[in-house]
Amino acid sequence: MTDKEIIENQVLELRRGVTTYALLHILSSEQYGYSLQMTLSQLGLEVEQGTLYPLLRRLEQQGLLSSNWRVEEGRPRRYYQINDAGRELLQKLVDEWARLNAIISKFN
């Protein structure tokens, strides 16, 4: 593994946790996968499609998201939304983020 790859992997690890946090926040209102990616992208958080959908699937399997299929613009789309268990997790993540942020800010 080259130095560049090591750095990229570390950055990716850091972003991975943040992605779940952001997803749960955004999915307070219903969104389908592609619109979710667009929202993330507009916020400046680029997530590959190939990573986003498996992540959504995992979160749903863990009981943190609910989903349903609807046909819109003649196209079937799967809409995701946070559920009660997801909201509980999100609150914990918000608290933890604030705590970590307070610690990290001391380094700067």
Is 62 a binder of other proteins (CB under 8 A)? no
Q: How far apart are CA 37 and CA 91, in angstroms?
A: 22
Is 69 a binder of other proteins (CB under 8 A)? yes
Which window, 13-21, 51-59, 84-92, 93-101, contacts other proteins (CB under 8 A)? 51-59
Return the number of the residue (21 or 53) whose C-beta is nearest other proteins.
53
Alpha helices, DSSP H, located in 27-83? 33-43, 49-61
Pairing assessment for the beta strands 65-72 and 75-82 based on DSSP bridges: antiparallel
Coil, strand or helix: which one is 75?
strand
Which window, 6-14, 32-40, 86-94, 99-107, contacts other proteins (CB under 8 A)? 32-40
Among 50, 103, 106, 108, binds other proteins (CB under 8 A): 50
Q: By the 8 A CB rule, do 24 and 66 touch? A: no
Return the number of the residue (3 or 72) whose C-beta is nearest other proteins.
72
Structure-token match 């998201």, residue found: 65
Return the number of the residue (49 or 91) whose C-beta is nearest other proteins.
49
